[in-house]
Amino acid sequence: MESKKLYDVESKIPQEEFKLMHEEASIHDTKFETRAVGWFEDSVKRFARNKASVVGAIIIAIFVLMAIIVPIFSPYNHVKKSDFVNGYQDKTYSGVLPKLFNNAGGFWDGTQVVSVGETEYKLRLFSDANDPYLINPEKFVRKEQKVTETSTIVTYKGRVDTYAVGVRELNLTDSTEYQRILDYEAAKGISYATNPGKSILKPLRDIEAYLDYDGPFEKWAEANGLVVNDDWSRVDNMKDAIRNFYNQRQYVYYKVIPSMRDGKYVDTKFEAYIEEGKTEPEAIYMKDSSGNLVFEETNNGLESIRIDYRAYYRFRYGFDPVFVFGANLQGQDIFLRLSLGAQFSLMLGIAISAVNFIIGLVYGAVSGYYGGKIDLIMERITDIISNVPTIIIMTIAQIQLTGNLQLKNALGPAGTIILALLLAFVFNGWVGVAGTTRMQFYRFKGQEYVLASRTLGANDRRLIFKHILPNAAGTLVTSSVLMIPGVIFSESSLSYLGIINFETSGICSVGALLAEGQQAGIATYPHVLLFPAIAISLLMISFNLFGNGLRDAFNTTLRGSEE
């Protein structure tokens, strides 16, 4: 083939018009048209692509929000200090079940299916309280269980409302309170006269009138052959037992008589007395001389009333007793306690991780950067420290610190415990971070770019902070984030075991709640344990997911590998 010069091809262009295109412009590197992605932005992007970690982060965020918002808005956290010196607790609602809905047929509505003894069942059938304890008493299933040849135990199984604490007798300490209740009832239109099913005040009982000499009970006893040969001692004993019975069961407002067992009257068990031809027992309400019901009575300077406790609660505290996660045996709201516990546990976890991070970073950096003899000695020290179990340090720190009265006065019981916790968890908590930092320094200090920088005259400080540390940052951040669930877990295990003792300090942590649940007994009150257990499991899972996501996100070698 004949070879041609390049310009021969374009020979149609006249010589004078031929011009080089970039004759005047100098050619050099141009900027990328695309936007540069920085290290941090890249990490965030890679993190967001990992769905599991995002879910973990969201759950953590929910916990954080719960820890902040619930204590602010929970009505239980804003009760009057004069009503509850040590924060809200009302033993009337001890151990009530979680309640989120009203009458949801058993789902999260504070009701439960239980077996009620026959006596209890029959007594609860009649009540002058606003809410029934037995829900649909006619649906209860009767069950007979033979104990011995002759005796059987009868129980009724069905749904009961744990919130229906019923009617109580109350001694008033504030003389204006009775009037205030009356005003409240009038304003709401729920006074006993107009709306007996909603009222706070219930008529007082006149037990003595019922048990009076020649009164209704004695007449009944005589008619039923309990008085033999004019011997009233059995009846007198019964009357004492009935008095006792009425005091213990303040919801019983009607006439009671001894129960029959195998054709004989039992002196200590009582049931409603339903006269022939009637369906309900007759009430023993107190009446004044003109025949009106009496709601308030002053005896020996004590002013007593009889109230429906839930309605009274609403009047007294201004909100309804509804515990989303139920109440513990002290009658405290588990939801609020869990939020406070999460608050404390998260704060403790973050604070301890931060302290450990700083100590471990400095220690590991020195040990890893200088190496040699210094490293050997420092390694021995961490070896010793890391082999002492936290549980031992915790025990010793707590006994030493709480025994120190001077310290206790200065910091208060809560401060002393927190100081002991800090000491115990910082004592060997930083060892892990130190080890990671040391490894990272070993990894990077020999690399060429560090050598280049050193050759250019950079000093130790510049090498550590400008060249090595930024490269190690991802790994270190991840390890310190993963330390938070570790601290929460150790704290909860130790306080569950009772080694960390929060009792006098008023602090509640998730671990303390777990211990409370264990004491309440999971057989009878599973919810007291269940919610803290779920909370700590969720926290652990989400922190692990979050941490794993962070590790992948900060691992720059993975950059672009998934695309």
Partner 1 sequence: MRNGKETLNYILKRLVLMIFTFLVIFVISFILIRLLPLDAATGVGKDPDTFYNMQVALGRMVKANDGTYHKTPVFEQLGAFIKQLFAPNTYKTTDGVVHTTSRWGYSWNISWLSAPDKLLVKQLPPTIIINIYSIIVSVPIGLALGTFMALEKNKWPDNVLSVLIMVLISVPSFVYAFLLQYFFAYVLKILPPLRADFDGNWFSLDMFKSMILPVVSMSFGSIAGYARYTRAELTEVLTSDFMLLARTKGLSRAQATIRHAFRNSLVPIFPMILGEILSILSGSIIIENIFAVNGVGGLFLQSIQMKDYDVFQFVSMFYIAIGLVGGLVVDVSYGLVDPRIRMGGGKA
Footprint of partner 1 (CB under 8 A): 371, 380, 383-384, 387-389, 391-392, 395-396, 399-400, 403, 442, 485, 489, 492-493, 496-499, 514, 518, 522-523, 526, 529, 533, 536-537, 540-541, 543-545
Q: Which is nearer to partner 1, 531 or 554 (CB)?
A: 531
Would you say 432 and 482 are in contact if contact means Cβ atoms under 8 Å apart? no
As measured in angstroms, the least distance from the Cβ of 536 to partner 1 is 6
Helix (H) or strand (E) holding 463: none
Q: Which is nearer to partner 1, 315 or 496 (CB)?
A: 496
As measured in angstroms, the least distance from the Cβ of 502 to partner 1 is 15
Closest-CA residue to 496 (of 483, 510, 475): 510
Radius of gyration of the chain (CA): 38
As measured in angstroms, the least distance from the Cβ of 467 to partner 1 is 20
> Positive or negative, the Cα torsion across 20, 23, 28, 33?
negative
Would you say 321 and 165 are in contact if contact means Cβ atoms under 8 Å apart? no
* Burial degree of 492 (CB within 10 A; 0-12, 13-18, 19+): buried
Q: Which is nearer to partner 1, 204 or 513 (CB)?
A: 513
Q: Which is nearer to partner 1, 62 or 186 (CB)?
A: 62
Q: Which is nearer to partner 1, 286 or 494 (CB)?
A: 494
Residue 532 CB contacts under 8 Å (≥ 6 apart), including other chains: 334, 338, 341, 510, 513, 514, 516, 517
Q: Which is nearer to partner 1, 308 or 491 (CB)?
A: 491
As measured in angstroms, the least distance from the Cβ of 545 to partner 1 is 7
As measured in angstroms, the least distance from the Cβ of 534 to partner 1 is 8
Q: Which is nearer to partner 1, 258 or 341 (CB)?
A: 341
d(CA 264, CA 253): 25
As measured in angstroms, the least distance from the Cβ of 477 to partner 1 is 20
Could you tell me which residues are beta bridge partners of residue 324? none
As measured in angstroms, the least distance from the Cβ of 524 to partner 1 is 9
d(CA 239, CA 506): 46
Would you say 370 and 357 are in contact if contact means Cβ atoms under 8 Å apart? no
Tokens of 478: 């991840």
d(CA 76, CA 93): 13
